[in-house]
Amino acid sequence: MVKIGIFDSGIGGLSILREIAKLRLGIEMFYFADSLNNPYGQKDDSFVIARCEFIVETLEAKGANLIVVACNTATAIAIDHLREKYPHLVFVGVEPYINVINQRPELKTRRGVVLATPLTGNSKRFKALKERLDPNNLLDVFTPIHLAKLIEDNFFNKSHAFEFDVKKELLGLSNDYDYLILGCTHYPLIKPQLLSFLKGEMISPCPMVAMRVKNLLLGKFGMTEGDASATNFAFYQSGVSSDFKTLNIDEVFI
């Protein structure tokens, strides 16, 4: 059985793991949430690279030879380094799905906004990406300050004030947008809540990342499509776990 590793500075990358699981491939998945050091955007590059190396080596020790860097910051800072240092492994990164406006021409006549963390939205990499993929400035950008942290802290045990706090984070965001690009892997985890506050179509990069993983598995790794369903995965959370533990996807995403 092929084994893949997925990691993020927290639990946001579970949104990508869920999409990979939907592909019904016979794979074993390991997820590393580096919550002890969340968020990476407040750390210097050398620290992020060192953590990524440690996590990659941890996942490789579990048998993973395809690794998804399910974090915008880690992808921006470390993925080129990881590919150079570990050429025997295959890496898939993630970035805000701005390119959807070039893949779906009908969106160019509609109002759209990218929801991103302040760290991503203000980064040089994001601004360069937007300038390249959105030269006519069709997309607005909205950066809720605490939304990703709220999701990180409440995903497994939501507080009574969670929905109120989410709504407060969205104050100032117009409800006139036709579509919203979810530019942080944490955001798809609360898509139902977002849909209750906002009327636009929610566009996530997670299905595209999962399809990239599938194409690599079918091509580079020689897998064949079947009906095997990955219902369990191994989960580790730094600062919380002592070792990987088995979780059921259906129970995690109730």
- The two counts, helices (H) then strands (E), for the chain are 11, 10
Residues 96 and 127: their CA atoms lie apart, in Å, by 11
The residue from 23, 66, 180, 184 that is catalytic is: 184
In a 3-state reduction of DSSP, which class is residue 33? strand
Non-local (6+) Cβ contacts of 3 within 8 A are 27, 28, 29, 30, 62, 63, 64, 65
Three-point CA angle 246, 254, 167, nearest 5°: 125
φ, ψ at 10 (rounded to 5°) = -160, -145
Non-local (6+) Cβ contacts of 37 within 8 A are 9, 43, 47, 51, 238
The residue from 6, 56, 66, 71 that is catalytic is: 71
Candidates 236, 76, 240, 69; CA nearest to 153 is 240
Is 52 part of the annotated catalytic residue set?
A: no
Residues 130 and 121: their CA atoms lie apart, in Å, by 10
Half-sphere exposure of 203 (CA within 13 A, CB side): 21
Q: How many CB atoms lie within 10 A of CB 200?
A: 19
Residues 37 and 9: their CA atoms lie apart, in Å, by 7
Is 71 part of the annotated catalytic residue set?
A: yes
List the catalytic residues: 71, 184
